[in-house]
Amino acid sequence: EADIYQTPRYLVIGTGKKITLECSQTMGHDKMYWYQQDPGMELHLIHYSYGVNSTEKGDLSSESTVSRIRTEHFPLTLESARPSHTSQYLCASSDTQQGSESPLHFGNGTRLTVT
Amino acid sequence: RKEVEQDPGPFNVPEGATVAFNCTYSNSASQSFFWYRQDCRKEPKLLMSVYSSGNEDGRFTAQLNRASQYISLLIRDSKLSDSATYLCAVNSGYSTLTFGKGTMLLVSP
């Protein structure tokens, strides 16, 4: 099982605050991802990275930003949190595999509430 | 047409029943297919990969039908603990996985 960690698990924060959600993996996976999921709804890809210094926007427009300075670390930052950002944020990683996509391994998520 | 579509359910079945879900995908060039299980308010966990030749793991069987562009998941002898949402995932043309909305399964005593 992949070792991928997210902190914090739960975060309640006021509108306008800057927040960073942390995600680290110890598997040496090249690819990392951030998904957003509202309760009972589908996963939406918001950012992904193929490796160090690579970041791409996903399918869902997001006001967040990401960075990938180290292979194992893929933090997500919201410069100014708003109530519409209230959601669960799931980080994932996968190995590089030629010709096909490897399965994703997910962290246990950060549940963000913006008041 | 959405890239990946699933019947949201819920599928209500008694313990011991056999249940099957399908997942259709629109990109005929897709190469990788997976089934995930997600419990309420938890992260998705990989259940099994779906190979061209099919894949079986205990009570779970996954199949791929390229001609009709769908994958299926069969659960035999359902347990109460199988109650969860089952997500299918298919790779898109941009080398990322696209997830379906999931099918909810409720197994009752």
Residues of B in contact with A55 (CB under 8 A): none
Q: What pLDDT score does B29 carry?
A: 86
The angle formed by the CA atoms of residues A11, B45 and A7, to the nearest 5 degrees, is: 25
Residues making up chain A, counted from first to last: 115
Q: How far is CA B15 from CA A83, B84, B109, in A?
A: 41, 14, 6
pLDDT for residue A92 is more than 60: yes
Amino acid identity, position B53? S
Confidence of residue B97 (pLDDT cuts 50, 70, 90): confident
- Chain B residue with minimal CA distance to A99? B31
Of A42, A104, A108, the CB nearest to B101: A42
pLDDT for residue B94 is more than 70: no
Task: Read off the pLDDT of each residue in A85-92 and give the average, rounded to a whole number.
Answer: 96
Q: What pLDDT score does B43 carry?
A: 95
Q: What pLDDT score does A100 carry?
A: 63
CB crowding A1-19: b at 16 or more within 10 Å, else e: ebebebeeeebebeeeeeb
Residue A30 is classified by DSSP as S
Tell if the CB–CB gap between A101 and B95 is shorter than 8 Å: yes
Q: What pLDDT score does B45 carry?
A: 96
Check whether the bond before B10 is cis (ω within 30° of 0): yes
Q: What pLDDT score does B93 carry?
A: 56
Tell if the CB–CB gap between A45 and B96 is shorter than 8 Å: yes
Residues of B in contact with A111 (CB under 8 A): 41
Q: What pLDDT score does B95 carry?
A: 64
Q: What pLDDT score does B76 carry?
A: 98
Written as six digits, the tokens of A100 are 């096909």
Query: pLDDT averaged over chain A?
Result: 91
Of A45, A100, A103, the CB nearest to B46: A103
pLDDT for residue B85 is more than 90: yes
pLDDT for residue A1 is more than 70: no
Tell if the CB–CB gap between A90 and B32 is shorter than 8 Å: no
Query: pLDDT averaged over chain B?
Result: 92
- Chain B residue with minimal CA distance to A108? B43
Element (H, E) at B24: strand B19-25
pLDDT in tens, A26-72: 999 999 999 999 988 889 999 999 999 999 998 777 789 999 999 99
Q: Are A93 and A25 a contacting pair, CB within 8 Å?
A: yes
- Give one DSSP letter per residue of A32-94, joined into a string: EEEEEE-TTS--EEEEEESSTT--EE-SS--S-EE--SBTTB--EEESS--GGG-EEEEEEEE
Q: B90 in helix, strand or coil?
A: strand
Who contacts A5 (Cβ-Cβ below 8 Å, separation ≥6)? Answer: A22, A23, A24, A25, A107, A108
pLDDT in tens, B33-73: 999 999 998 999 999 999 888 899 999 999 999 999 999 99
Report how far residue A80's alpha carbon sits from residue B18's, in angstroms, rounded to the nearest whole number. Answer: 49
Residue A104 is classified by DSSP as P
pLDDT in tens, A93-110: 998 765 566 889 999 999
Report how far residue B101's alpha carbon sits from residue A37's, in angstroms, rounded to the nearest whole number. Answer: 10
pLDDT for residue B20 is more than 90: yes
Check whether the bond before B14 is cis (ω within 30° of 0): no
% of chain B beyond a pLDDT of 90: 80
Report how far residue B20's alpha carbon sits from residue A73's, in angstroms, rounded to the nearest whole number. Answer: 38
Task: Read off the pLDDT of each residue in B73-79 and give the average, rounded to a whole number.
Answer: 98
